[in-house]
Amino acid sequence: MWVFDFDRLRQLRKQRKMHQKDVGAQLGCTASSISKIELGETAVTAEDLARLANIYDDKNLADFFVQKV
């Protein structure tokens, strides 16, 4: 089974030296919302995932999923 890798979002954000408020501003939400997404506490829509991939310049959406054993 493949599951969404929420931690990947945090890793990409930190690699680009961005703060949650910066990402939130680009998505039109709060830093708190970005935190909840990164922690897996809230669902991420396909639209938001595509927007995050653009922000982080990682167009391969498969990178955001891991196989759960």
High-pLDDT (> 70) share of the chain, %: 100
Structural contact between residues 16 and 8, judged by C-beta atoms closer than 8 angstroms: no
**Domain 2-58 -> CATH class:** mainly alpha
H helices within the chain, ranges in order? 6-15, 20-27, 31-39, 46-55
pLDDT at 45: 86
Structural contact between residues 44 and 4, judged by C-beta atoms closer than 8 angstroms: yes
Chain segment 13-60, per-residue pLDDT in tens: 999 999 999 999 999 999 999 999 999 899 888 888 889 989 998 877
Q: How many CB atoms lie within 10 A of CB 39?
A: 12
